[in-house]
Structure 1
Amino acid sequence: MEVIEKQLKEFELIDGLLEKKEIFSSERLFKCILGLNKTESKVLGYMLKNKDVRTSEIANALKMDRSSIQRAVQGLSELKLIDRKSMSMKDYTATKELKDAKKQGYLYVYNAKNMESIKIQLKKLLDKWYNSMLKYIKNLENLCECCGFKFEPC
């Protein structure tokens, strides 16, 4: 019983810290629920603040090599957190208000999904995890018997 009381006190402390927003940064939340690494979290954060970005732009802004950024973009794309679209150099130059830039050809730009769709995705994954933990708890007796541990109710 003491262990349970101790855990409840810890949960109350965590809940209080969450209210003060001292525990979960977006990076920790993305890592915990989505399984993103540091680079993917930084890239997603950058894309949430900036629209129509190229991998070279992200690499310069985050002071990282482009191949690391491209791997992160690939991972984010597989998780359907970002969109990739083709854009003409002319449109890109106009969008970014660049002067004297090459205006022929096409390039790929990336955008994060809107925050609401990311929140929905996070909630779905969290609900899925919660339901799997409930199933685990429900089947705990069977799991204990498998291991040779006899479960006897109080």
Structure 2
Amino acid sequence: MTAAPLSEASHLPGNLLRRCHQISVAIFLRKCEAYHLTQLQYIILCALEEKGAIDQITLGGHTALDRNTVAVVVRKLEERGLVTRHRNPQDRRAMLVTLTKEGERLRQAAEPTVAEVQEEILAPLDEDEREILGRLLTRIADENNHLSRVPVRQAG
């Protein structure tokens, strides 16, 4: 039996990643408040700007978001006029999502603030530590991608 289970559990990598995610979300929401954007909305706008009009399933694959989450986030972006949705003429079951000019403008306007978010998240680290952390997190994410409930799919 462990004498200090909370202390030990608090230092488990999974718990530390969870805490860092909470901190990341809090910083993002605070700094991006003027844009009324969440991290999920921002990554969807980024994917649409880079990939062009794509169906919601493919969009989820590029962003590691499940179909229900993509549908909710896209609906909220559509309500704001940042994206449009319409049936894919080649596959009537699929909804194509397109970034509007307003969505592109907002994403680009938010980009410097998103960079500030990253800076604040990494503030406790020096440049070498930031580079090492980035490499390690990328490796963990890439090499464990297949274990995710919603893995990133690069096809398309």
TM-score scaled by length of structure 2 = 0.43
Higher relative contact order (CA 8 A, sep 6+): 2
Quick check: which has more Rg, 1 or 2? 1
